[in-house]
């Protein structure tokens, strides 16, 4: 996935000083230059919505560079790094996961039915995948493979992972009992890490030369996931809206990354020396882990706020997967050095009962069970009841749950976010969804208003096209002018053809 539709060289510039106009912004950022050869047309440039708060301070700087270059165009772009943010402290209930008689257990993925997938090591040191429903583990072994890893599972129960066969790793998907190979064309090693409900798979591949990057697979079509000129771009997770999360390395540091359409956002946990984004749910919450120089720690990231995920008493914690109900899975290392899996529930935790009668819930969904101290057996209840019709409705008065009234596949994309609905005083039904953000017509504001992964696309301001969320009043090349207008390079304004 080429984020900018041209070949570009990305390199960091010295820190930019705001002088007397330094804005008060609670985000770290660094400046990047895109070296664009002359004659190459800029088709689209998209930015994270947060750039709106600082673009007015740097747009002159960017245009100044653009006007000065003759043989090449240098475009100053602010890439936000979600770094200097205060960390929230949500309450979680943790349950350890230990495959029977295994020396190592690690949990990597969890779907909306609460089914967990991961891997374990047996007494001989071989690695096997597993699925877990409630307290029942099922081993997973790719036919003829030496090792098998299960990394992701979607809402339909399709599992993705990798197997070790003849000295090379090969990706796979597993539907029912049928394994399907996933191998990036020409690669020596391929791993499938994530899959969404539409069946799109993301993962990473490596050539014999050591070249390693991410990919997405839709049907039979492989697409490279790559930030131009990065040392490394890896893809680990994808939600139903098509937003991909993974890693990016600029040659000096590893960042987490979120890619939505042609917009990408770097993620840097405060004080971390390296950050990895591993999964994203349909509400847009991202989970991953960071390295602080001595230990690993998990995190979740929602609405630009980090929440630490640390298994109680662990020396290190890694968060790998999250479902739409906020249940997180991963692994931890205890004081003895043993590695175990875990599932973390937000507390209080609610198990959903879907498709209840319309007279019981105004939007057709309801919380069947609210749990203060969840257990693995509650996961079994979730899996057994997922998608079934509830015979009656009950909820705790005043409690809330996420909701969304926009089109499928748009939540978590652009500005679209879930809202909440509240249980009524009688505890018999949830009220209407409030506070959710659904798609609207695109306007010139540096935001993805229609939640399609693109920002300010096809927005016109009279004679000019929208640029960086602003309607310009001058032009520096033809791309700024609306159809039917051309840039007058003497006056630097768009004039009718």
DSSP string, 338-353: -EEEEEEEESSEEEEE
**The pLDDT of residue 80 is above 50:** no
Res 483: pLDDT: 92
Last residue of a domain, one of 327, 347, 367: 347
**CA–CA gap between residue 204 and residue 188 (Å, rounded):** 11
Res 172: pLDDT: 97
**CA–CA gap between residue 496 and residue 486 (Å, rounded):** 6
**The pLDDT of residue 468 is above 50:** yes
Cα dihedral: 370, 373, 374, 377 (round 10): -110
Whether 58 and 190 map to the same domain: the answer is no
pLDDT (mean) for 300-305: 89
121 within domain boundaries: yes
Give me the residue label for tokens 């043989």: 71
Q: Give residue 94's pLDDT band: very low, low, confident or very high (50, 70, 90).
A: very high
How many CA atoms does the CB half-sphere of 343 hold within 13 Å? 27
**The pLDDT of residue 224 is above 70:** yes
Q: How many CB atoms lie within 10 A of CB 294?
A: 8
Whether 102 and 54 map to the same domain: the answer is no
Burial of 322 (0-12, 13-18, 19+ CB in 10 A): buried
Res 22: pLDDT: 31
- List alpha helices for 28-74, DSSP H: 55-68
**CA–CA gap between residue 132 and residue 278 (Å, rounded):** 20
Whether 64 and 108 map to the same domain: the answer is no
Res 377: pLDDT: 58
Residues in the chain: 497
**The pLDDT of residue 86 is above 70:** no
pLDDT (mean) for 103-114: 92
17 within domain boundaries: yes
419 within domain boundaries: no
Lowest-confidence range among 79-88, 162-171, 203-212, 455-464?
79-88
107 within domain boundaries: yes
Q: Give residue 318's pLDDT band: very low, low, confident or very high (50, 70, 90).
A: very high
379 within domain boundaries: no
**CA–CA gap between residue 2 and residue 224 (Å, rounded):** 7
Q: Name the residue with higher pLDDT: 429 or 304.
A: 304
197 within domain boundaries: yes
Res 103: pLDDT: 95
Peptide bond into 137 cis (omega under 30): no
**The pLDDT of residue 106 is above 90:** yes
Q: Give residue 40's pLDDT band: very low, low, confident or very high (50, 70, 90).
A: very low
**Cα 363 to the chain's mean position, in Å?**
27
Q: Name the residue with higher pLDDT: 324 or 109.
A: 109
Domain count, the chain: 3
Res 249: pLDDT: 92
**CA–CA gap between residue 40 and residue 208 (Å, rounded):** 32
Lowest-confidence range among 80-89, 146-155, 358-367, 488-497?
358-367
Give 416-442 pLDDT, tens digit per residue.
Answer: 877 888 888 877 777 888 888 899 999
**CA–CA gap between residue 400 and residue 422 (Å, rounded):** 4
pLDDT (mean) for 205-225: 92
Q: Domain with 102 in it: what CATH number?
A: 2.120.10.30
**The pLDDT of residue 29 is above 60:** no
Whether 155 and 180 map to the same domain: the answer is yes
**CA–CA gap between residue 307 and residue 300 (Å, rounded):** 5
Res 350: pLDDT: 57
Whether 134 and 71 map to the same domain: the answer is no
Whether 18 and 110 map to the same domain: the answer is no
> Cα angle vertex 432, ends 426, 438, to 5°?
160
Last residue of a domain, one of 323, 347, 371: 347
Whether 114 and 160 map to the same domain: the answer is yes
**Left (φ > 0), alpha (ψ -120 to 50) or beta: where does 471 sit?**
beta
Last residue of a domain, one of 347, 362, 392: 347
| CA-based radius of gyration for the chain | 24
DSSP annotation string for 19-31: GGG----SSEEEE
Whether 205 and 257 map to the same domain: the answer is yes
**CA–CA gap between residue 262 and residue 248 (Å, rounded):** 15
pLDDT (mean) for 69-92: 42
Give 147-166 pLDDT, tens digit per residue.
Answer: 999 999 998 889 999 999 88
User: Is the Cα dihedral 176, 182, 188, 189 positive or negative?
Assistant: negative
Res 150: pLDDT: 98
**The pLDDT of residue 68 is above 80:** no
**The pLDDT of residue 117 is above 60:** yes
Structure tokens at 334: 């205890």
**The pLDDT of residue 2 is above 80:** no
**The pLDDT of residue 39 is above 80:** no
443 within domain boundaries: no
Give 252-292 pLDDT, tens digit per residue.
Answer: 999 999 998 878 889 999 999 999 999 999 889 999 999 99
Share above pLDDT 70 across residues of the chain, in percent, rounded to a whole number: 71
Structure tokens at 138: 């099922």
Burial of 474 (0-12, 13-18, 19+ CB in 10 A): middle
**The pLDDT of residue 228 is above 50:** yes
Lowest-confidence range among 67-76, 201-210, 465-474?
67-76
Structure tokens at 453: 């992964």
Name the β-bridge partners of 244.
Answer: 238, 259
353 within domain boundaries: no
Question: What does residue 440 show for φ and ψ, rounded to 5 degrees?
Answer: -130, 175
Grouping H, G, I as helix, E, B as strand and the rest as coil, residue 479 is: helix
Res 346: pLDDT: 84
Give 372-391 pLDDT, tens digit per residue.
Answer: 555 665 566 555 544 433 33
Select, from the ranges 24-38, 400-414, 447-461, the one with the highest average predicted confidence (pLDDT).
447-461
**CA–CA gap between residue 247 and residue 237 (Å, rounded):** 10
Whether 248 and 291 map to the same domain: the answer is yes
**The pLDDT of residue 469 is above 70:** yes
**Cα 356 to the chain's mean position, in Å?**
30
* Beta carbons of 323 and 107 less than 8 angstroms apart: no
pLDDT (mean) for 80-98: 65
Average pLDDT, the chain: 75
**The pLDDT of residue 476 is above 90:** no
**CA–CA gap between residue 348 and residue 368 (Å, rounded):** 13
Name the β-bridge partners of 172.
Answer: 161, 181
Containing H/E element for 381? helix 376-385
Q: Name the residue with higher pLDDT: 236 or 230.
A: 236
**Strand segments (E) across 144-262:** 147-153, 159-165, 168-175, 178-182, 189-195, 201-206, 212-218, 221-225, 232-238, 244-249, 254-260
Distances (CA, A) of 84 to 26, 271, 302, 428, 445: 6, 8, 14, 43, 24
Give residue 493's domain range. Answer: 459-497
Name residues whose C-beta falls within 8 Å of residue 141's C-beta, 6 or more positions apart in sequence.
128, 129, 148
**CA–CA gap between residue 140 and residue 338 (Å, rounded):** 22
Name the β-bridge partners of 255.
Answer: 248
* Beta carbons of 346 and 90 less than 8 angstroms apart: yes
């Amino acid at each position: 996935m080429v984020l900018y539709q041209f070949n570009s060289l990305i390199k960091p510039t010295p820190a930019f000083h705001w002088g007397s106009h330094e804005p008060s912004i609670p985000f770290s950022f660094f400046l990047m230059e895109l070296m664009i050869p002359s004659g190459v047309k800029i088709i689209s440039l998209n930015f994270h919505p947060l750039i709106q708060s600082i673009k007015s301070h740097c747009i002159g700087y960017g245009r100044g560079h653009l006007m000065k270059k003759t043989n090449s165009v240098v475009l100053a772009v602010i890439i936000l790094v979600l770094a200097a943010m205060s960390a929230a402290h949500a309450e979680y209930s943790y349950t350890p996961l230990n495959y029977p008689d295994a020396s190592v257990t690690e949990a990597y993925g969890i779907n909306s039915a609460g089914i967990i997938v991961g891997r374990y090591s047996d007494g001989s040191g071989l690695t096997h995948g597993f699925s877990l429903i409630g307290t029942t583990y099922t081993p997973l072994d790719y036919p003829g493979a030496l090792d098998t890893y299960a990394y992701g599972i979607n809402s339909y129960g399709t599992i993705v992972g990798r197997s070790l066969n003849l000295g090379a790793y090969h990706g796979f998907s597993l539907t029912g009992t049928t394994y399907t190979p996933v191998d990036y064309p020409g690669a020596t090693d391929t791993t499938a890490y994530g899959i969404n409900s539409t069946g799109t798979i993301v993962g990473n591949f490596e050539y014999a030369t050591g070249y390693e990057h991410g990919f997405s697979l839709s049907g039979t079509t492989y697409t490279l996931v790559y930030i131009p000129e990065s040392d490394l771009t890896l893809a680990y997770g994808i939600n139903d809206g098509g937003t991909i999360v993974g890693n990016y390395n600029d040659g000096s540091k590893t960042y987490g990354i979120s890619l939505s359409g042609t917009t990408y956002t770097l993620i840097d946990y405060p004080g971390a020396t390296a950050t990895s984004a591993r999964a994203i749910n349909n509400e847009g919450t991202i989970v991953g882990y960071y390295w602080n120089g001595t230990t690993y720690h998990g995190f979740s990231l929602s609405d630009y706020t980090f929440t630490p995920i640390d298994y109680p008493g662990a020396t290190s914690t890694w968060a790998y997967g999250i479902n739409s109900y906020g249940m997180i899975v991963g692994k931890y290392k205890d004081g003895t050095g043993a590695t175990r899996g875990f599932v973390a529930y937000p507390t209080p935790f609610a198990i959903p009962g879907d498709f209840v009668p319309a007279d019981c819930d105004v939007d057709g969904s309801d919380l069947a069970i609210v749990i203060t101290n969840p257990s693995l057996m509650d996961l079994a209840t979730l899996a057994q009841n997922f998608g079934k019709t509830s015979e009656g409705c009950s909820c705790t008065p005043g409690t809330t749950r996420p909701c969304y009234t926009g089109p499928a596949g748009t939540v978590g994309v652009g500005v679209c976010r879930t809202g909440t609905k509240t249980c009524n005083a009688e505890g018999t039904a949830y009220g209407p969804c409030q506070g959710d953000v659904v798609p609207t017509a695109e306007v010139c504001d540096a935001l993805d208003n229609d939640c399609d992964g693109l920002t300010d696309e096809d927005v016109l301001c009279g004679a000019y096209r929208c640029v960086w969320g602003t309607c310009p009043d001058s032009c520096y090349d033809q791309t700024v002018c609306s159809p039917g207008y051309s840039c007058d390079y003497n006056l630097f304004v768009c004039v009718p053809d």
